[in-house]
Chains A and B, each alone.
Chain A
Amino acid sequence: MSLLKTIVQQLPYAHPFLFVDELTHVDEQGCKGFYTFKKDEYFYQGHFENHPVTPGVILTECMAQIGLVCLGIYLVGSDKLKVKGSVAHLKSTDVSQSGPAPSRTVSKAENEGQTAFVFSESNVLFEKAVYPGEKVKVISTKKYWRLGKLKCRVEMYNEAGERVCSGELSGIITKS
């Protein structure tokens, strides 16, 4: 399996809260991925009544899952490669987690050797609405990866190539 697919497979999310269809690029400096907001996503039932628009928090979550967590899985994996010199570690038991949790909460890390990803900060500007059925592209550029903290500049574009939102997102990656 390709590295890109392996990373997506390691994401700890599942329906209805997985907002990554495909990762198309990743390197030490950043990554790029896609998601199509399905017409029957659960939140369209209430946001808004009779006028479905993708909520900003969901756009932010999509940017975090692609831009922070996918890149974080890659960076943690490549750190391990540097240290241990084995490809196997990228497919190990890493479990990542993101979400509006307090920064020092570590969950899903009960077992030794697991990795927990905690969403710590977001500062996002919303420029365009995203409607049901739209496919978005997320591009993340690493600002720094230091002391377990990953900070990125993340941008989301629609199929017309217009930027729909952008901002800076950070997360903490802890290893147990």
Chain B
Amino acid sequence: MTRSEIEAQLKTIIKPYVQNEEAFENLSPETDMLQDLQINSAHLVDIILDMEEHFDIEIDDETAEKMLTVGEAITATENLLDKKD
């Protein structure tokens, strides 16, 4: 799966939790999920679980805690998908 494919699917996953639509429209790898998208920190856990289910990967706690920007989430997913193949 390419980075842009991962990004498109990740956007679908995070959309329900986004509270700043404008930042979501202008999404970039640097977009911070808490600061920019104003996602509630409690919902970050739901996003991690949704990603695990959707991509069929296991995200350990240490990796999860580092996934604060969209780019970091894409990279983590990319790495975990690579390991699977």
* Chain B residue at minimum C-beta to C-beta distance from A120: B42
Q: Pick the contact of B49 from A103, A121, A146, A172 — CB < 8 Å?
A: A146
The answer on a CB contact under 8 Å between B40 and A147 is: no
- Count of A-B residue pairs with CB < 8 Å: 24
* In the complex, B65 has a CB within 8 A of chain A: yes
Q: How many residues of A contact B (CB 8 A)?
A: 11
Decide if the interface of chain B is mainly helix, strand, loop or mixed: helix
Q: How many residues of B contact A (CB 8 A)?
A: 10
* In the complex, A48 has a CB within 8 A of chain B: no
Residues of B within 8 A of A172 (CB): 41-42
* Nearest chain B CB to A101 CB, angstrom units: 11
B49, B61, B64, B65 — which one has the most chain A CB atoms within 10 A of its CB?
B49
* Nearest chain A CB to B78 CB, angstrom units: 21
Q: Could you tell me the distance between the alpha carbons of A148 and B40 in the complex, rounded to whole angstroms?
A: 14
Residues of A within 8 A of B (CB): 103-104, 120-121, 144, 146-149, 170, 172
